[in-house]
Amino acid sequence: MDERFVLLVSQCRAAVTVKDRDGYCVSANRLAEELRGAGPGELVGRHITELAGADPRLAERQFQRFVREGAWVGQYPIRGADGTLVTVRSYAFTHQEDGEAFYLNFDYPVGEHTRLAHDGPVPLEPPALSPEDVCLGQLYIDGHANEEVAVLLGVSPERVGILMGQLIEHTDTASRTGACIRLLKAGLVV
């Protein structure tokens, strides 16, 4: 994987796992390992059904939906470091590199005040919002610059500009800041 990509993922405030098309973890940052009580490199090679604390059939079905649609936003339980279930809000998107797709989950532990009423995909309002829009907003909320977002998504800076324009349009705002505020107020980002 690209060095800039690996460095950005290692510095994220989210617990990040990178999976291949078949759902096997190919990389995880330190926060993802700590959240799951794993040592360095112990998550690599584990399947999505092992990483989630949900019914393996449901985890597989949601992962396949994510692969088809290119992005997914929702929450689900994982096994925490002490073995208990921890609910995470997940912003999952596709990273393109050298013609190959990798599937990233940016997971954030949530408490009762930020927990959704249900597990699974987040119903998005207004209907024009897509999971890709919300994932993009979360990356900006986390403080990533346009160039970093381009690296994380594996797209050109020009493509990031197009995606941001769509987010601004879909949130009916006039700026990136306005779009992010609208997503925050709607509880769609953490």
Residue pair 129/36 in contact by the 8 Å Cβ criterion:
no
Structure tokens at 76: 């689900």
pLDDT tens, residue order, the chain (190 aa): 899 999 999 999 999 999 999 999 999 999 999 999 999 999 999 999 999 888 899 999 999 999 999 999 999 888 888 888 889 999 999 999 999 999 999 999 987 666 666 777 777 765 689 999 999 999 999 999 999 999 999 999 999 999 999 999 999 999 999 999 999 998 899 9
Cis, peptide link before residue 126, omega less than 30° from 0:
yes
- The pLDDT value recorded for residue 82 is 85
- The pLDDT value recorded for residue 98 is 92
- The pLDDT value recorded for residue 117 is 66
- Structural domain includes residue 71: yes
- Structural domain includes residue 190: no
Question: How would you list the strands of the sheet with 100-109, edge to edge?
Answer: 25-28, 15-19, 100-109, 85-97, 71-79, 120-121
- The pLDDT value recorded for residue 85 is 86
What is the span of the domain harbouring residue 43? Answer: 3-185
Q: Which residues are registered as beta bridge partners of 109?
A: 88
- Structural domain includes residue 153: yes
Structure tokens at 75: 């929450």
- Structural domain includes residue 88: yes
- Structural domain includes residue 69: yes
Work out the angle at residue 8's Cα, subtended by the Cα atoms of residues 38 and 34, and round it to the nearest 5 degrees. Answer: 15
Domain count, the chain: 1
CATH number of the domain bearing residue 136: 3.30.450.20
Pairing of strands 15-19, 71-79: unpaired
